[in-house]
Amino acid sequence: MAMYHQKTCIRFVARGTQKGYVKIIRSWESVSGQQNNPGCWSVKGRTGNMQELSLDGTCIHRATVIYELMHALGLIRTTATRATEIRHREIRQHHQR
């Protein structure tokens, strides 16, 4: 997360009373029915509630963590040759709150 702070305007903060937040878990800790989906994953885009981001086993590397945090933020890498697509709807919704 420090890399996001150094290289972008995105800031992660400790959760206070926010309704929407990212909870980093191991897949078996999932309360959203993803216990049998091991590995690294995140819902793509902001959900507005508790949002699970799973980091399991061998996928705990800087690049993978950054990639999954990007998914949680609504940034999607569509192909190796195309630029990251931003889900503008999620960004607009965030700024309207």
pLDDT at residue 64 in the model: 87
**CA gap 55, 22 in Å, rounded:** 12
Asked if residue 91 is part of any domain, the answer here is yes
Asked if residue 13 is part of any domain, the answer here is no
Burial of 8 (0-12, 13-18, 19+ CB in 10 A): exposed
Catalytic residue set = 68
Asked if residue 81 is part of any domain, the answer here is yes
Structure confidence by residue, pLDDT tens digits, 11-33: 888 999 988 899 999 888 888 77
Do residues 86 and 75 make contact, with C-beta atoms less than 8 angstroms apart? yes
**CA gap 51, 22 in Å, rounded:** 5
Structure confidence by residue, pLDDT tens digits, 69-81: 888 888 876 654 4
pTM of the model as a whole: 0.69
Counted domains in the chain: 1
pLDDT averaged over the chain? 78
What is the band of 82 on the pLDDT scale with cuts at 50, 70, 90?
very low
How many CB atoms are located within 10 Å of the residue 51 CB? 17
What's the mean pLDDT in 43-67? 85
| Residue 70 belongs to domain with CATH number | 3.40.390.10
Asked if residue 14 is part of any domain, the answer here is no
